[in-house]
Amino acid sequence: MTVDLSIEFCGLEFDNPIWLSSAPPTMSGDHIKRAIEKGWGGAVVKTLGLDKDIFPDVRPRLKANRESGTLFAMENIELITTHYLDWWEKELKVAKSTGAPLIVSIMAAPNREDWATIATWAQDHGADMVELNVSCPHGCPEKARGAAIGQDPDLVAEVTTYVKEAIDIPVMIKVTPNVTDIVEVTAPAVNNNVDAISGINTVFGLIGVDIYEAKPHPNVLGYSTYGGNCGPAVRPIGLRIISQLNKAFPDTPLSGIGGIDSWENVLEYIMLGATSVQVCTAAMWYGFDIISGWLRHIETFFKEQGYSSFEDFRGMANRSIGTFDALKVDDSIVPEIDVEKCISCMKCYISCRDGASNAIKEPKLGDIDQDACVGCSLCVQVCPMNAITMVKKS
């Protein structure tokens, strides 16, 4: 069976839908060139700005969270590129030499002249598409940029128009999750003929506090600030937003971002309507080489499931998402324990006793009071051996 992992996105052809997002992994032409050579389908250049908008980064500017030693979240207080446009002229040539379409992320103050200037510069220096960063949640909003624009429907409409009128290449807008209604703030861009939508940018937050020093993270000479949170912890937000955007704007190409750290996550986003996905944190934690394994697993998945291209299942999962009122109640759904897999850790027993209905009596014997069970599946979630499944009562 022939498998085709290539995609078309806004008229541009990519070898596969897995791109690097606008972030440290795309901070130079060399980074992008090495990534494409290793198999990444594309890359979005780290956000560029006009020279007057470039500021130095603080040190340190990252802080990760771990659970039992495993990385699951990270916060950054990093700004856009620290390099001026004359430096980027050479870097974009290097990135362009890969043959992959070149997507350039841009940011400016909310006025026509600045957005038109940076967009035109990007087009003149080889960009095949621009991504409008109206979503960075820290540092930039204080200067009326980033999320300060993306959270205002009127400014979203204006910025989209400024860029669309200035250049001829496709325009993609990168949306912020830090809003109440993603459809409401994105609709003006769609109405003003934006070519594509990417999202999400990072989630505004505070990742933690050093309780021994009473200092927030990341600690910058004794002080910190609120930052952008990323990694697997934010994936549910990214999936929800891509699903909502696909339902609201089914004809607009979407590039899904947020917490992708496996090949399965790539497919999740596409099954919710994304045409491409963008990866940052996983590339920062594990390096560019992860792409080879992801592509290999996806190709195997295609063959096993009988798919020939991503279009065979793009948006398929969205068909099964509706309102809460549409969900059916079935009192016959209960847990069943595979006693051969059970290791008597008692996690299900404790969780059910203290967090549910105290229906599990003796896990190793598969003893569950099905009449007392409320069918919440808490036991399934805490079992470390995947020994419990939800079934219909016999």
CA distance 190 to 192: 5
268 within some domain: yes
Q: Judge contact between 308 and 350, C-beta under 8 A.
A: no
Tokens of 22: 């606008």
Which residues does 52 contact at the CB level (< 8 Å), separation at least 6? none
Contact 134, 154 (CB under 8 A): no
What band does 1 get if pLDDT is binned at 50, 70 and 90?
confident
The pTM for the full model equals 0.97
Q: Is residue 345 part of a domain?
A: yes
Six token digits for residue 277: 């996905």
Tens digits of residue pLDDT in 301-344: 999 999 999 999 999 999 999 999 999 999 999 999 999 999 99
Distance CA 58, CA 74 (A): 16
Domain shared by 268 and 233, yes or no: yes
In contact, 335 and 377? CB cutoff 8 Å: yes
1 lies in some domain:
no
Preceding peptide of 141 cis, ω within 30° = no
Same domain, 108 and 213: yes
- For 82-93, the pLDDT digits (tens) are 999 999 999 999
From the list 136, 230, 280, 373, the catalytic residue is 136
Where is the domain boundary, 320, 352, 373? 320
Q: What local confidence, expressed as pLDDT, does residue 394 receive?
A: 75
- Rounded Cα distance between 324 and 326, Å, is 5
Confirm whether 342 is a catalytic residue. no
| Residue 72 covered by a domain | yes
Q: Is the backbone of residue 10 left (phi > 0), alpha (psi -120 to 50) or beta?
A: left
- CA nearest neighbour of 63 among 53, 52, 75, 51: 75
Question: What are residue 130's DSSP bridge partners?
Answer: 104, 171
Q: Which residue spans within 124-242 are E strands per DSSP?
A: 129-133, 171-174, 196-199, 203-205, 209-210, 215-216, 227-230
* pLDDT tens by residue, 187-217: 999 999 999 999 999 999 999 999 999 999 9
Task: Say yes or no: 193 and 342 in one domain.
Answer: no
CATH, residue 373: 3.30.70.20
Q: Are residues 59 and 77 in the same domain?
A: yes
Q: Could you tell me if 231 and 113 lie in one domain?
A: yes
**pLDDT at residue 72 is higher than 90:** yes
- The tokens of 254 are what? 């979407």
- What is the torsion angle, in degrees rounded to the nearest 10, for the CA atoms of residue 262, residue 15, residue 256 and residue 199? 130
Domain for residue 229, yes or no? yes
DSSP state of 319: G
Quick one: what percent of the chain has pLDDT higher than 70? 100
Q: What is the pLDDT of residue 207?
A: 98
Token digits of residue 347:
């996690």
The pLDDT of residue 2 is 87
**Can you point out the beta strands (E) in the chain?**
7-9, 12-14, 18-20, 42-48, 62-67, 70-76, 102-106, 129-133, 171-174, 196-199, 203-205, 209-210, 215-216, 227-230, 254-257, 276-279, 333-337, 360-362, 367-368, 388-392
Tens of pLDDT, residue by residue over 22-41, are 999 999 999 999 999 999 99
234 occurs within a structural domain: yes
- Whether 17 and 33 share a structural domain: yes
- Answer whether residue 53 is part of any domain: yes
Model pLDDT for residues 92-150, shown as the tens digit of each residue = 999 999 999 999 999 999 999 999 999 999 999 999 999 999 999 999 999 999 999 99
| Residues 274-282, mean pLDDT to the nearest whole number | 99
Verify that 279 and 364 share a domain, yes or no.
Answer: no
Count the domains in the chain. Answer: 2
Q: Which of 320, 355, 370 is the last residue of a domain?
A: 320
CB 202 within 8 A of CB 137: yes
CA separation for the pair 268, 263 (Å, rounded) = 9
Q: Are residues 294 and 375 in the same domain?
A: no
What's the chain's average pLDDT? 98
Q: Mark whether 49 and 180 lie in a shared domain.
A: yes
* Region 264-283 average pLDDT: 99
Which residue type is seen at 282? A
Does the pLDDT at position 263 exceed 90?
A: yes
Residue 2: inside a domain: no
The reply to whether 308 and 348 lie within a common domain is no
Residues 276 and 342 in one domain: no
pLDDT band with cut points at 50, 70 and 90 for residue 362: very high
Residues spanned by the domain of 365: 328-392
103 lies in the same domain as 146: yes
| CATH of residue 236 | 3.20.20.70
**Final residue in a domain of this structure, among 257, 289, 320:** 320
Q: Give the integer Cα–Cα distance in Å for 166 and 375.
A: 57
